[in-house]
Amino acid sequence: MIRINDQIRLADHEVSISAIRAQGAGGQNVNKVSSAIHLRFDIRASSLPEHYKSRLLSRRDQRITDDGVVVIKAQSHRTREQNLADAYARLAALIDSAGKTEKKRRPTRPGKSAVRRRLDSKTRHGQKKAARGRIRPDD
């Protein structure tokens, strides 16, 4: 069982895992060992609640394909076990973030005294700059 949060857990058979060779520069170990993890999770066929499924499918996330499959590639660690734990953690974070609703922003406006202070400051600054002009000798 994969624990997402206190209420949601995924069965092991819902997640497909394959070990692949990591990309990029590495050396002896990376060229011989399949330590990277390719995790696939089908959102539509999962046991997630419907509101989680709809939020995940409506996201514009590059890890979610058009077919509704989450593909996570974990290759940042040296061992397969660490990469597997990293892939599970990233999947759990993605699903858990779909359950949280963002607080709606209420537009605000500055108060009258703040506007007055800002305009007074601008006036004082303009007067200071105007006083820097050339001094003309009186005739």
What's the pLDDT band for 108 if we cut at 50, 70, 90? Answer: very high
Angstrom distances, CA of residue 116 to CA of 123, 125, 128: 11, 14, 18
- Terminal Cα-to-Cα distance of the chain (whole angstroms): 95
* pLDDT score recorded for residue 137: 78
Q: What is the mean pLDDT of the chain?
A: 85
Alpha helices for the chain (secondary structure H)? 28-32, 50-58, 80-98, 112-130
Domain 2-98: assigned CATH number: 3.30.160.20
Q: Write out pLDDT tens, residues 25-43.
A: 666 666 667 788 889 998 8
Q: Where are the domains of the chain?
A: 2-98
Per the model's pLDDT, the better-predicted residue between 69 and 116 turns out to be 116
Burial classification of residue 41, based on how many CB atoms lie within 10 Å of its CB (0-12 exposed, 13-18 middle, 19 or more buried): buried
pLDDT at position 59: 84
Give the pLDDT score at 28.
65
